[in-house]
Amino acid sequence: MITLPHGQPIRVVGDVHGDARGFAHAAATDRFVVQLGDLTDGGPDAAGVLRQMFALIDAGRGLFLLGNHDHKLARALAGRPVRMLPELAATLAQLDRPLADRAAAEIASAPAWIVRRRSVFVHGGFHTAMLHEPPPAAPLTARPEGPLARALFGEPTGTTLADGLPERSLRWVDRVPAGLTVYCGHDRRSRDGRPYVQTGAAGGRAVFLDTGAGKGGHLSWIDLPAP
């Protein structure tokens, strides 16, 4: 199971979506970088983002969590049927064979969630099983289920919005235990350009770090001290 470096402060970075310029600023730190998934699709330089992320991994300075766009990219690279939206097609067009092979390998080993003391780092949403179960490998042949589906997709309601995107509920925030903070991306909930914070009924809270990078907004991150 992948863990974070002991005693080292970290920088938690939200969804990048191909914003290589923003990610370069986020990665310019001596902190360990935890990127919350969705590296590609949307912005102009998905290949540049992947190269920056892999350089952090090679230097032992960072990791990324598995997001739904990363999982979809891996499926596409493996020749699995996917819904080929323009942003994914643009990402694939930027990848030469060595970068595509590296992306497939890194996505296959990316954790779906990490727990560090009173913090959970995950792309889409929290499930109580994450507190006592290691993240499983994400299948490329079937849609993820259970806690893995929550990690990648949050909590869809089954309704499709006018823009074609699935409606997602934040009911899972009410199940975050008191004293626990979930750092996540996936849902762009911010109304003021800053990460959105919601406290749940059980006393825990969620910090949403997707502020629209690569999709008309900007990249956000938050620095956390060493435990």
Helix orientation angle between 86-94 and 46-58, rounded to the nearest 10 degrees: 60
**Structural contact between residues 227 and 221, judged by C-beta atoms closer than 8 angstroms:** no
Task: Check residue 160 and give its pLDDT.
Answer: 76
Q: Is the dihedral of CA 181, 183, 189, 193 positive or negative?
A: positive
Task: Check residue 6 and give its pLDDT.
Answer: 87
Tokens representing 152 are 């990648």
Domains of the chain: 10-224 (3.60.21.10)
Model confidence, pTM? 0.94
**Structural contact between residues 167 and 160, judged by C-beta atoms closer than 8 angstroms:** yes
Task: Check residue 164 and give its pLDDT.
Answer: 67
CB atoms within 10 A of CB 224: 18
**Structural contact between residues 221 and 208, judged by C-beta atoms closer than 8 angstroms:** no
**Structural contact between residues 27 and 49, judged by C-beta atoms closer than 8 angstroms:** no
CA 202/CA 219 separation, integer angstroms: 30
pLDDT tens string, the chain, 227 residues long: the values are: 677 888 899 999 999 999 999 999 999 999 999 999 999 999 999 999 999 999 999 999 999 999 999 999 999 999 998 888 999 999 999 999 999 999 999 999 999 999 998 999 999 999 999 999 999 989 998 889 999 999 999 998 777 766 667 778 899 999 999 999 999 999 999 889 999 999 999 999 999 999 999 999 999 999 999 87
Task: Check residue 226 and give its pLDDT.
Answer: 86
Which helix (H) or strand (E) is 120 found in, with range? Answer: strand 119-122
Task: Check residue 162 and give its pLDDT.
Answer: 67
Tokens representing 83 are 């819904």
Contacts of 172 (CB under 8 A, 6+ apart): 125, 126, 127, 150, 154, 155
Task: Check residue 58 and give its pLDDT.
Answer: 96
CA 92/CA 76 separation, integer angstroms: 8
